[in-house]
C-alpha cells in the first residue's frame, strides 16, 4: 500500500501540471512567436478613429504652392518675411509663400512681402526659378497678385472656396515655406470665423479668419485650405509670442480684391462715408451708433449727426458697426445709397447718400 501512494500522487499532479503548461503557453511569448497584445498594424487608422488624413489635400495642392523672394530697400520695413544677408548692402531679400490661381502664371501672396521690391522671383515646384512682376496690390487687405514672366504653360492652380461656409471648429490645412523649409504642412482648426481687428482710429476693419495652425517667417502668403482642398484664406499675420494664433484674409475678401484689381487696373477702390462708430447703449441689439462725423465728408453732406443710429443700409438691416463698415468699404465710390436712421427715437429715411472713396487726397482715408 505504501508503494502505491507516490504513483497515486503523480496521477493527480500530472493533469494539473499539463493544464498549467497550456495556460502558460497561451499567454507567455515563446521565442520569436507573437504575443496576444494588439500590434500597431492592428490599431485603428486615424480615418477610422475620426481624424481625417490631410495627405490627399496636400498632394493636390503642392504643385500650386510657390516660393516668393523679393529684394527690397533695406530702409523698407520687411513686415514679416525672412531676411537674407547674402545680398548687396543696400538691399534686403525677403522670403515668403504664394500660390497659383491661374494656369497662365498669376500668383496670390501678401502685399507686405513685395511692397517696394526691386527684384522679384518665384520658385515653381518642378521648374527653375523665374522672375515676376506685381500686377495688383492692396496694403489694407495685405494682398498682392504677381505675374510670372515666361511662365510655363498650363500650370496647376488652386480653386477659391467660400469662407462663409466655415464654422468655428472646422479643420484647415496650410502649405508654406516657414524659415525656407519648403512645402511644410501644418493643420489646425478655425478658432474664430470673422475676427474684426482694430485698425487705426476707426476701431474696426474687415473681418479676418483666425485659425490655430502656427505661422512663422516665410509662411506669409500661404494658402489656407478646407478639407476639399479649396483656398478659404491667405495667411497674413500671427500674434507675436502667441503660438497658434494666426490670421488669414478670408477667401470672400480675396475674391472681392481680385475683382477690384480686374476692374480698376490692379488697385482697390473703397467706399467712404466719414463716420466714426460709437458704442451702442446697453440693451441695443441692432444698428450702428454714429460716434462722430467727419467735417466735409459724405456723411456730413447727408445730414448725419453724432448720436444717430443707422439701422438699414440700402435696404439691408444693420446688425452692428462691424457689418456696416464692411458694406461701406465694399460700396462703389460715386454710387448713391439709402440709409434708415434713428434720431431721438424717431426713424427717418435718408436717400441719395453719395459714397466717397478711401484715399481721396482731399481728406484722410477713413470710413
The catalytic residue positions are 112, 142, 220
| pTM metric for this prediction | 0.74
Residue 148 three-state SS: strand
Residue 20 grid cell: 498549467
For the record, the C-alpha cell of 231 comes out as 483656398
Query: Residue 309 in contact with residue 287, Cβ under 8 Å?
Result: yes
CATH code assigned to 56-148: 2.40.10.10
The pLDDT tens digits of the residues spanning 182-239 come to: 989 999 999 988 887 765 544 445 688 999 988 888 999 999 999 999 999 999 977 7
Q: What is the DSSP letter of 42?
A: G
pLDDT at 93: 82
User: CA–CA separation, 220 vs 99, rounded Å?
Assistant: 11
Helix (H) / strand (E) containing 339: strand 336-343
**Cell numbers found for residue 7:** 504513483
Angle at 213 between CA 235 and CA 66, to 5 degrees: 45
Query: Quick count: other Cβ atoms within 10 Å of Cβ 283?
Result: 5
Q: What angle do CA 158, 160, 164 make, to 5 degrees?
A: 150
| CATH 2.30.42.10 for domain 271-357 | yes
Amino acid 78: pLDDT: 45
pLDDT at 66: 96
Residue corresponding to grid cell 482697390: 268
Residues 6+ apart with CB under 8 A from 23: none
Ranges of residues in the chain whose predicted pLDDT is under 50:
1-2, 8, 10-11, 22-45, 48, 77-90, 201-204, 361-367
Per domain, the residue ranges of the chain are 56-148, 163-263, 271-357
163-263 CATH fold: Thrombin, subunit H (2.40.10)
Cα 148 to its chain centre, rounded Å, is 23
The pLDDT value recorded for residue 222 is 96
φ and ψ at residue 86, rounded to 5 degrees = -95, 40
163-263: same fold as 56-148?
yes
Amino acid at each position: 500500500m505504501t508503494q502505491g501512494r507516490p504513483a497515486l500522487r503523480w496521477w493527480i499532479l500530472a493533469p494539473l501540471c499539463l493544464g498549467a503548461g497550456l495556460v502558460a503557453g497561451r499567454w507567455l511569448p515563446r521565442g520569436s512567436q507573437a504575443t496576444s497584445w494588439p500590434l500597431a498594424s492592428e490599431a485603428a487608422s486615424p480615418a477610422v478613429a475620426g481624424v481625417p488624413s490631410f495627405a490627399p489635400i496636400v498632394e493636390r495642392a503642392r504643385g500650386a504652392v510657390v516660393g516668393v523672394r523679393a529684394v527690397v530697400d533695406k530702409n523698407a520695413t520687411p513686415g514679416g518675411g525672412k531676411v537674407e544677408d547674402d545680398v548687396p548692402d543696400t538691399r534686403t531679400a525677403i522670403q515668403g509663400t504664394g500660390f497659383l490661381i491661374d494656369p497662365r502664371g498669376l500668383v496670390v501672396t501678401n502685399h507686405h512681402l513685395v511692397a517696394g521690391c526691386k527684384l522679384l522671383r518665384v520658385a515653381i515646384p518642378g521648374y527653375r526659378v523665374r522672375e515676376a512682376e506685381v500686377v495688383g496690390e492692396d496694403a489694407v487687405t495685405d494682398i498682392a497678385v504677381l505675374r510670372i514672366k515666361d511662365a510655363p504653360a498650363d500650370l496647376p492652380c488652386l480653386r477659391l472656396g467660400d469662407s462663409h461656409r466655415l464654422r468655428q471648429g472646422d479643420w484647415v490645412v496650410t502649405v508654406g515655406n516657414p524659415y525656407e523649409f519648403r512645402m511644410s504642412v501644418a493643420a489646425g482648426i478655425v478658432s474664430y470665423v470673422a475676427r474684426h481687428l482694430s485698425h487705426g482710429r476707426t476701431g474696426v476693419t474687415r473681418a479676418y479668419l483666425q485659425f490655430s495652425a502656427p505661422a512663422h517667417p516665410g509662411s506669409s502668403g500661404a494658402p489656407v485650405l478646407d478639407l476639399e482642398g479649396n483656398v478659404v484664406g491667405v495667411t497674413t499675420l500671427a500674434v507675436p509670442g502667441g503660438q497658434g494664433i494666426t490670421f488669414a484674409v478670408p477667401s470672400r475678401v480675396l475674391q472681392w480684391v481680385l475683382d477690384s484689381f480686374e476692374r480698376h487696373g490692379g488697385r482697390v477702390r473703397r467706399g467712404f462715408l466719414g463716420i466714426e462708430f460709437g458704442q451702442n447703449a446697453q440693451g441695443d441689439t441692432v444698428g450702428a451708433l454714429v460716434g462722430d462725423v467727419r467735417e466735409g465728408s459724405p456723411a456730413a453732406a447727408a445730414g448725419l449727426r453724432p448720436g444717430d443710429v443707422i439701422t438699414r443700409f440700402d435696404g439691408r438691416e444693420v446688425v452692428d458697426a462691424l457689418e456696416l463698415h464692411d458694406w461701406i468699404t465694399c460700396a462703389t465710390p460715386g454710387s448713391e445709397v439709402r440709409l434708415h436712421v434713428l434720431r431721438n427715437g424717431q426713424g427717418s429715411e435718408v436717400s441719395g447718400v453719395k459714397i466717397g472713396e478711401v484715399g481721396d487726397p482731399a481728406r484722410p482715408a477713413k470710413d
